[in-house]
Structure 1
Amino acid sequence: MSAALAFTVLAAGSLGVLSTPAHASDDMCNVPKADWKTKEALTEKLTAEGWDVRKVKTEDGCFEVYAMDAAGKKVEAYFNPATFEAVKIKKQD
């Protein structure tokens, strides 16, 4: 195989890998819909923990929450819809 052909094959293979988006929550939120709790139940739980929940939506099989946490920090958080386990939390300063 020539060097140019080898480079082309390698580059094409790399593009396939790069074009697939990676989501940290994919594996953590692979839950059948029948096992999901409600968005309202998650909102109640977080509110009881001192969060000010602004919005809850579904994203990549997780519940995505926009809120102010108990410390007053702006938060974007992802929760498993069956267990309400936090999968990923991004805090803004």
Structure 2
Amino acid sequence: MKTTLIAASMIAVLSPAAAMASDECPNVPRDQWMSDAAITEKAKGMGYDVRSIEADDGCLEADAFDKDGKRVEVYFHPATGEVLEVSEDD
């Protein structure tokens, strides 16, 4: 019973973050995605120091540091490179 309650609590806390990615990230075929290098250059032009890029629920997620040195996750539209969300990475 206690394990079920803990699991349910974790799902409730984590669900909004998962919903963001699936709600905002389009269903774009992989052959239309920008390359990691192109996303990295775009992010650098915006002042981010990119450490890694990975696919996340249809978005390209860049783990980076912003101009103030804060660790952030930047979610890009995979085909256009539009920034969909920036969140601080705790």
TM-score (structure 1 length as normaliser):
0.67
Q: Matched residue of 2:51: which SS?
A: strand
Which residue is 1:68 aligned to? 65
CA RMSD, aligned part only? 2.4
Instruction: Report sequence identity in percent.
Output: 41
Aligned residues: 76
Alignment partners' CA distance in 1, 2:65 and 2:86: 12
Which residue of 1 is the match for residue 48 of structure 2? 51
For residues 49-83 of structure 1, the C-alpha deviation after alignment (integer angstroms, 9 at most, x for no partner) is: 22110110011011111100123221012111111
Deviation larger for 36-45 or 21-30: 21-30
Structure 2 gap segments, 5+ residues each: 1-7
Tell me what 1:25 maps to: 21
Letter in 2 for 1:28: E
Work out which of the two has the higher radius of gyration on C-alpha atoms and give 1 or 2: 1
Q: Could you say what secondary structure the match of 1:66 adopts?
A: strand
Question: How far apart are 1:37 and its partner, in Å?
Answer: 0.9
Q: Deviations over 1:5-49 (max 9, x none)?
A: xxxxxxxxxx9xx79x54212132222223211111000111122
Structure 1: gaps of 5 or more residues: 1-14
